[in-house]
Amino acid sequence: MAISSKEMMLSPPLVEEDTAANKVLTNDDLLGEILPRIHCPSCLVCAALTCKRWLRNASNETTIRRFRSRMPSHLLGVYVSIDGFSNPKFVPLPDASRPELAAALHHGNFSFDNMDSPLLTIWDCRNDRVLYGFNTVMLPPQPSTTWPNCLQAMFLPDDDSDVSSCYRVDISNKDRTVHAKVFVLRAGTWTVHFSTLADLAKSPQEILMMTLLMGGKIYMMTMAGYILTLDIATARFSIVDLPRGVEFEYTGNIVPCRGDNSVLYLFNVKGDKLTVWFQSIDNHSSVGSRPGEWLLRDTISLLETCGHLMKQGGEPIDGQEQEEGIVSIVGVGDNAEFVFLEFEETSVIAYMHLKTRKVKKVYQRHPDNDFVISVLPFMMVCPVVFPEGQN
């Protein structure tokens, strides 16, 4: 028996299916679960144009926050800081394939050129946010520390569910004894989160400024050639040894890097070679621990990839080859996606994308400026722009 197309369209099962779909697509609670799972900003905007109900649901604060948490971040630019002696410079580096980022740069102001007070410090950049402070004034005022000349660092929370505005750590050491005090800023008020003291198996000699917060732990590079960690939840220190053959030589030749899925990355420059290592951080738990083996992810020849940026022109002096200029790591991207390198001989700072080996000059240091320089990447999720009139 033949069935016409009209009869098929009006068959009871399909009518029931349409009714079920209609119940889902007009239910605000269910839409609140579906819309944040759309896979790209342009698709979310298209969904929002379906009707006023969808537009209202797609553009509310909760949906946008959940949608953005699922989206990958893209490099919008970098803040170049010179040892805290001048306002950091913002250098735009938008992804050419992402016109939304270029639009964000056009409409937004990411620099600090118009600030009345100099001596601005950029402490951290994370999840579209920048943590900065003035050396002359801080609102709200920071708590004073009891230790003179201690190392200080500040971090944005690494957990989106953390209601804290930021953390500050003050740390000092004498021989093998290390003392840390961690403050937390919540609702405009600083409080002491904890204070802890530990005797390490080996003196750190000096704890360096290149630090990061990841997985609730603060990672600090030491001149003794290991990474010192401080667990914010347990207030306990632990030690992470470097990969075999990797040694501390100068500030900037070894830099830790945060990664997803409980992975710690490590960048190392030795001569003209850049290596990238990684290991799990699950067992970084106690003083004196020796976690699992480091694995080598990348080995890159800097002469091959960056040779045109590394050396000045000119002939050798007195027939002698000049020594290779020092290469320093001044900034890294999460998951070891990219790295910023400074070449001492040319005073050039370059961006390198690790997967493609793409290299680009991004900044030129003044040759007479010998202050420490750092680069903080500003990552941004492509913005979602909805049409007006959602109400």
Cis before 316? omega within 30: no
The candidate with the shortest Cα–Cα distance to 267, out of 197, 343, 352, is 352
Exposure string of 303-328, with b = 16+ CB inside 10 Å and e = fewer, is eebbeebbeeeeeeeeeeeeeeeebb
Cβ neighbors of 372 (< 8 A, separation 6 or more) are: 82, 83, 209, 251
Is the domain of 206 the same as that of 353?
yes
In a domain, 387, yes or no: no
Is the domain of 84 the same as that of 231?
yes
Please state the φ and ψ torsions of residue 210, each to the nearest 5 degrees: -70, 95
The token duo for 47 is 């969904």
In a domain, 388, yes or no: no
pLDDT tens digits, one per residue of 332-342: 999 999 999 99
In the listed set 52, 68, 84, which residue is the last one of a domain according to the structure? 68
Is the domain of 134 the same as that of 271?
yes
Q: How far apart, in Å, are the Cα atoms of 367 and each of 7, 332, 359, 363, 380?
A: 82, 23, 21, 12, 32
Is the domain of 280 the same as that of 259?
yes
Is the domain of 207 the same as that of 349?
yes
Is the domain of 49 the same as that of 175?
no
What is the signed CA dihedral for 237, 243, 246, 247, rounded to 10 degrees? 20
Q: Residue 267's pLDDT is what?
A: 97
Is the domain of 184 the same as that of 158?
yes
- Terminus-to-terminus CA distance in the chain, angstroms? 51
What is the rounded CA–CA span in Å between residue 80 and residue 163? 28
Which residue would you say has higher pLDDT here, 127 or 3?
127
In a domain, 88, yes or no: yes
Candidate from 23-32, 84-93, 229-238, 281-290 with smallest mean pLDDT: 281-290
Q: How many domains does the chain have?
A: 2
Is the domain of 96 the same as that of 224?
yes
Is the domain of 77 the same as that of 142?
yes
pLDDT tens digits, one per residue of 245-296: 999 999 899 999 998 868 999 999 999 999 999 998 765 544 444 556 899 9
Q: Which structural domain range is residue 272 located in?
A: 72-312+323-380
In a domain, 1, yes or no: no
The token duo for 302 is 């800097």
Q: Is 180 exposed, middle or buried (0-12, 13-18, 19+ CB in 10 A)?
A: buried
Is the domain of 35 the same as that of 164?
no
Q: Residue 56's pLDDT is what?
A: 79
pLDDT tens digits, one per residue of 194-223: 999 999 988 998 888 668 899 889 999 999
pLDDT-based confidence at residue 183 (cuts at 50, 70, 90) = very high
Q: How far apart, in Å, are the Cα atoms of 384 and each of 104, 169, 388, 390?
A: 10, 35, 13, 14
In a domain, 8, yes or no: no
Is the domain of 55 the same as that of 157?
no
